[in-house]
A and B are shown apart, each in its own frame.
Chain A
Amino acid sequence: METDLTRKASNVASAHAIRTDEADAPPALPRRSSAGRMDVRILLLVPALLLLVVAFIGPVGMLLSRAFTHPQIGMQNFVDLWERRGYLQVLWNTITIAAIATPICVLIGFPVAHAMTHGSARLRRWLIFIVLVPFWTSLLVRTFANVILLQRNGPLNAMLVGLGLTAEPLPLLYNITGLLFGAVQVLLPFVIFPLHAAMLRVDPTYMQAALTLGAGPARAFLRVYLPLTMPGLLTGATLVFISTLGYYVTPAMLGGPRQTMIAQLIQDQIAQFGNWGIAGALSLLLLLVSGVMLLLLQLTVGLKTVAR
């Protein structure tokens, strides 16, 4: 028996699964007829799968295989990655930036998701709208907007100087500050929506029970609320982390040369040097790290519990 609340939660969660991730597994509906026979509806899958294989899995497979075949067969590309300082530096940049952006997103996203779940109806509607607007707006437009906002004589610096917080305009662009400002902004919805979905599923009577049984609000939060929303938090954090790893537009526009990330390196290797072997090896590394993170998430949380 589905309560109204859980149904709402599943609706929201699935509606917002859109830009976040996961293919939720279909429910194993107990159907009455013809269990053994394959369904003719399998034919409906053919065009989509054909496209996926020919225009996605095949090409990606070819790119990855070049790591071992270009310019000659062997592991040379991986040795190169390991031995050249420049490459390692970029990999290190990528990991650190993702590791900094993720906790910031969680810290900002948690209170927002909480208000989005437990606030007044009007506040909830406004917050959902405000978080969805950037979600639907082009990444390029948002990043460009940040360039204007953060530039030396931009509005943010004018405000900081006006408030007397700083005498000189601060360098906010083309460095780690600019990159993190833009990245967190883009990634916030990825942590807010899974958290919101998890919070909707928390039975409010649990918190009441903890409070009436004598736990203070802080303790009730730490011992009851936080553990119950942990699946959403972990999902959001993982999504933020792996999305940051693959970022191209934000570091290229808001970061400086010292914040070069792996996606820019892949692009340079192909466009400037035609070095498909290194590009393939970097892609493989990026996919492996993302894949392992998703697998860990699947093992600890189970994507399905979050998806519905």
Chain B
Amino acid sequence: MKGDGLDRWRIFRGTVCILAALYLIAPLVIVVIISFSAASFLQFPPPGLSLRWYQNLFNSPAWTDSLGVSIKILIPSASIATLLGTAAAVAIVRGRIAGASIIGAALMLPILVPGIITAAALFGVYRGLGLNGTLTGLIIGHVVITMPYVVATVSSALKTMDPRLEDAAATLGAPPFAAFRRVTLPLLAPAILSGLLFAAVASFDELIVSLFVSSARVRPVAVQMWSNIRGDMDPTIAAIASLCFAFALLALLAEMILRRRTGVEPT
């Protein structure tokens, strides 16, 4: 009796898991397959295979330009977000600061507030400052959006780290900054790197703020994809989508390896 109920639950659970896995992964697999299609429209299964859409992607200035713009945004914004976010996380977790938990919550606001509100708000302010359609404007927006991820990653790593390690360094005569640089920073490095990685991925994928703030001349990949999807779709968009997917997969694997390094198992 009891065994039957549990078995039935196991079977049900297994079925849901398989269907959910298909539901989550199958669309991505289909996109990758279509990107190698020989057909000139989004047909599945493709009638033949070719690399023409990848060639098309790298030969078309609209796509290569937007890739350049995305990278010009991603590198500074992920670096600044990591620097500011790590500093803030150290202050919140290790500093003895009144209201630290409220400040921590406030720093998470940009990912709690719907993107459309942030985007509309920045667009409104940028109009007066002439920042719409500039790299600077896009970088500022992306730092705001990605910094919370860094704060969350670094502060959760700091919390699982034994504060006595730093205390020990201090007791043994290390000045505060030396203790930070020689003890805290090396232990924190995997978390900081993983925050940097996530910030980079989030910046590359960010659409809504970019949609409002970019212009036809300064247009990141996500916006270029958006206007293509809304217009006439051809498999070029599947090619760029597959590249984005590969980039995300690599970043995720790198992050999992980093997390294993810190001894925090993903399971």
Contacts and interface: CB of A to CB of B under 8 A. Distances in A.
Contact of B267 (A57, A125, A218): A125
Contacts of A257: none
Interface string B68-107: 0000000000000001110110111111111011011111
A224 interface: no
Interface stretch (A81-89, A137-145, A170-178): A137-145
Contacts of B57: none
Contact of A217 (B6, B94, B98, B115): B6
Nearest to B158: A26
B147 A133 contact: no
A17 B156 contact: yes
A23 B151 contact: yes
A138 to B, nearest CB: 4
A145 B117 contact: no
B16 A111 contact: yes
Contacts of A279: 120
Contact of B204 (A126, A134, A138): A138
A14 B160 contact: yes
Contacts of A8: 265, 267
Given A211-B2, A253-B229, A276 B152 contact: no
A246 B91 contact: no
A263 B94 CA distance: 38
Nearest to B147: A48
B179 interface: no
A136 B110 contact: no
Contact of B44 (A11, A112, A139, A154): A154
Contact of A22 (B91, B108, B120, B143): B108
Nearest to B5: A217
Interface stretch (A36-44, A72-80, A160-168, A227-235): A36-44
Interface residues of A, number: 102
B120 A138 contact: no
Given A136-B201, A155-B30, A48 B87 contact: yes
What is the predominant secondary structure among interface residues of chain B facing chain A? helix
Contact of A130 (B21, B229, B245): B21
Interface string B109-126: 111111111101111110
Contacts of B186: none
Contact of A133 (B16, B93, B123, B248): B248
Contact of B24 (A14, A48, A133, A263): A133
Nearest to A48: B88
A191 B13 CA distance: 16
Interface string A24-47: 111101010011001101111101
A181 to B, nearest CB: 9
B216 interface: no
A60 B106 CA distance: 13
A133 B121 contact: no
Contacts of B251: 136
* Max count, chain A CB within 10 A of own CB: residue among B108, B143, B241: B241
Interface in A90-139: 108, 111-112, 114-115, 121, 123-134, 136-139
A114 B103 CA distance: 34
A124 B156 CA distance: 22
Contacts of A47: 83-84, 87-88
A21 B94 CA distance: 21
B83 to A, nearest CB: 8
A294 interface: yes
Given A41-B95, A45-B88, A140-B226, A148 B117 contact: no
B107 A48 contact: yes
Interface in B35-78: 42-45
Nearest to A56: B144
A181 B232 CA distance: 23
Interface string A249-263: 100010000000001
Interface in A1-22: 7-8, 10-12, 14-15, 17-19, 21-22
A147 B87 CA distance: 41
B108 to A, nearest CB: 4
A308 B152 CA distance: 12
Interface of A: 7-8, 10-12, 14-15, 17-19, 21-27, 29, 31, 34-35, 38-39, 41-45, 47-49, 51-52, 55-60, 62-63, 66, 108, 111-112, 114-115, 121, 123-134, 136-142, 144-149, 151, 153-155, 158, 185, 188, 211, 216-218, 245-249, 253, 263, 266-267, 270, 276, 279, 283, 286-287, 290, 294, 308
13 contacts: A19-B111, A19-B149, A26-B155, A45-B92, A48-B151, A49-B107, A133-B25, A138-B245, A141-B244, A185-B27, A248-B114, A263-B116, A283-B117
